Amino acid sequence: MLALARIVWFIILIVVLFPIGMIYCCFKPRHRSLVNVIGHGIARTGKFLGLEVELRYQGSKDLPEPAVWIANHQSSMDLFTLPFALRDGVVSIGKKSLIWIPFFGLIYWITGNILIDRDKRSRSVQTLKEAAKQIKERNLSVWMFPEGTRSYGRGLLPFKTGAFHLSRQANVPVVPIFCSSTHQQIKLNRWNNGKVIVEVGETIAAQHWDQNEIRQNIKQVHQVMQQRVYELTLEARGQAFDYTEYQASLEQPMQEEQA
């Protein structure tokens, strides 16, 4: 019964809030503040899912502007968690196919996010150049998901290089965002779906990386993010269901030392 009530409520929210949001965006289309405003609005509806989201900072809340923001990408549930870290001047880069998603696609475009064609490398490279140009000219920060796709319970997937190349092209640092795992956490028929921790990490000076060290440095960033997401998930939920293989890899050296 609760699941049905939530589904009906979200349908009502979409029908009512979508036109209101579109009208608001039409007054200043693709403005640098729109992603923050709309993103926070969507994230707050997560309360109806029984989610408690805690936002943290490892260091100062005074983040560098502009910058390239990176985060782990889990599922569509990210819409209700990650936007709590947003602020004015942050937009995202996504696949062009996102525009075909009903309701979401149009909002995604009109709020000023950048759409890229990942099927053709030459166009993607050109898009990164254009993104670097917008970062400099409009003082924008760009949010990217270095995994390139949703993980859907497979842990932290290998990183692609685009976000880090953009950091070097635009000469701006990288800001890592860690979100505890939501895999198998949200049940529509459960009133309380627990806690999610979103943490803003320390700035990474990726703009100063040497060309020959990029891939090795990306691996190190991946290891740090994987470890931190795992730790946050244990804190928030007591068990990292989609990090069982990673947990086993941590325990194996300890078992070998004891042997």
Predicted confidence (pLDDT) per residue in 118-139, tens digit: 665 556 677 788 889 889 888 9
What DSSP character marks residue 204? Answer: B
Instruction: For 215-248, write each residue's pLDDT tens digit.
Output: 999 999 999 999 999 999 999 999 887 887 787 7
Q: Which of 41, 57, 50 is closest to 198 using CA atoms?
A: 57
Distance (Å, rounded) from C-alpha 156 to C-alpha 222?
8
Threshold 0.85, pTM exceeds: yes
Instruction: For 20-61, write each residue's pLDDT tens digit.
Output: 999 999 999 999 999 999 999 999 999 999 999 999 999 999
**What band does 254 get if pLDDT is binned at 50, 70 and 90?**
very low
Q: What is the mean pLDDT of the chain?
A: 90
Mean pLDDT of 158-165: 94
Instruction: Give the Cβ contact number of residue 189 at 10 Å.
Output: 10
> Is the pLDDT confidence value at 116 over 70?
yes
Query: How far does Cα 59 stand from its chain's mean position?
Result: 19
> Is the pLDDT confidence value at 151 over 60?
yes
Q: Which of 182, 171, 200, 196 is closest to 70 using CA atoms?
A: 200
pLDDT of residue 128: 81
Q: Which residues contact 35 (CB under 8 A, 6 or more apart)?
A: 86, 90, 91, 92, 111, 112, 113
Greatest alpha-carbon span in the chain: 67
Which parts of the chain are beta strand (E)? 52-57, 68-71, 90-95, 114-116, 141-144, 174-179, 195-200
- Alpha carbons within 13 A on the beta-carbon side of 33: 5
Distance (Å, rounded) from C-alpha 5 to C-alpha 49?
11
pLDDT of residue 253: 53
Distance (Å, rounded) from C-alpha 11 to C-alpha 59?
39
Query: How far does Cα 238 stand from its chain's mean position?
Result: 22
Whether 90 and 35 have beta carbons less than 8 Å apart is answered as yes
The pairing of strands 114-116 and 90-95 is parallel
The pairing of strands 174-179 and 68-71 is parallel
**What band does 252 get if pLDDT is binned at 50, 70 and 90?**
low
> Is the pLDDT confidence value at 171 over 80?
yes
Instruction: For 174-223, write each residue's pLDDT tens digit.
Output: 999 999 999 999 999 999 999 999 999 999 999 999 999 999 999 999 99
Q: Which domains does the chain have, with CATH numbers?
A: 2-258 (3.40.1130)
